[in-house]
Amino acid sequence: MKGFVTRHRFDPALLMPLWVTSGLMFVVAAEVLYLVLSEPNTGSSLTAAEGLGAPSGSEGGVPKAVHLCFMTFVLTNTIGNIIQFIKNSPTISGVFLSRDGVGQGWMYCYSCETHVPSRCFHCPDCNVCVLRRDHHCVFYGQCVGHRNYRYFLCALLYTWVALLYAMVLNMEVFLAIIQEGVTLRTVLMLIMPWLMFMTGQVSPSAFLFAFVADTCVVGFLFVSTVLALHAYLSSHGQTTREWLANNHQYDLGWQQNLQEALGERWYLVWIFPFITSPLPGDGVSFKRRPDLAQLPAKQFYPE
């Protein structure tokens, strides 16, 4: 068995989805900023001041400075957590794996040519074993594991907040489209704005607003589902694989589970991605429920 595992060869192709995700984030952020700083004409008599949550100069409207501060806070946390997620690789590269674990449920990875601890599995995309592997995140081009789970969960949370905020500001776009009545044109504009644009039925600006609005709705529904799942998993001390296998051996109670996943300052990590929160474990050995601590970890993972 090896001691220190050498670093695996990085595949630049893994970053392609990240660039696509970054591009969509930029387009949505630019469109929302435009809605905040101006009152665009969407081809309807409806003005931005009449849109739900849309900034305006009328009385009762939210000041633009408040919108800008909120946008800056959400965007900083979203991007910061993504950067930290990528920087903190959860793989076994450079990790010393002691020989003491051999014979205690550790499996042998033929690709990495080493024994690996429980909760550690090989990722075919990253081509390396990942400590406390949950899944490979195609949007960020890296696995979710022991060292970066905190940043993944926080990035999910702030992405959810950002999409909800964008949907509220884009409510004017939906109302402007629906105001024309339920016709084939309005239905296609809502679900396939790119088709309407390619056939010359709408202007480029109307297409952009409709495309961003649709992207926000679809993204919000998807992120809501993933966030709800991982909120459950993190509070129950499970990975996705363990949840599917009905494995509860690492469930130590919601508070201890959050500390194991997010670090000692689990209650502060939501505020800013650069707040230090040391993880209590090393990603190799984990605390287990007292009633299951005597059972081999391997038997919880059927072949």
In a domain, 247, yes or no: yes
72-115 confidence digits (pLDDT tens): 999 999 999 999 999 999 999 877 776 665 656 788 899 988 88
Tell me the per-residue pLDDT of 171-227, one tens digit each, with 9 for 90 and over.
877 777 777 666 777 777 777 887 887 888 878 887 888 888 888 999 999 999 999
Q: Which of 137, 143, 154, 216 is catalytic?
A: 137
pLDDT at 127 over 60: yes
pLDDT for 7 beyond 80: no
For residue 35, give the nearest of 161, 170, 177 by alpha carbon.
170
Tokens of 191: 């679900």
Task: Examine residue 3 and state whether it is found in any structural domain, yes or no.
Answer: no
- Provide, rounded to the nearest whole percent, the portion of the chain with pLDDT above 90: 48
pLDDT of residue 156: 97
Going by pLDDT thresholds of 50, 70 and 90, the confidence category of residue 293 is: low
pLDDT over 60 at 303, yes or no: no
Say what the pTM is.
0.83
* In a domain? residue 42: yes
Domains contained in the chain, number: 1
Report the interhelical angle of 254-262 vs 204-235 (nearest 10°): 120
Judge whether 26 lies within some domain.
yes
Between 163 and 61, residue with greater pLDDT: 163
**Residue 9 in domain:** no
Is residue 46 in some structural domain? yes
Q: Is residue 201 part of a domain?
A: yes
Q: Is residue 117 part of a domain?
A: no
Catalytic (active site) residue 137: yes
Q: Note down the domain range covering 270.
A: 18-88+147-288
Per-residue model confidence as pLDDT tens digits over 218-269: 999 999 999 999 999 999 999 999 999 999 999 999 999 999 999 999 999 9
- What's the confidence (pLDDT) of residue 20? 86
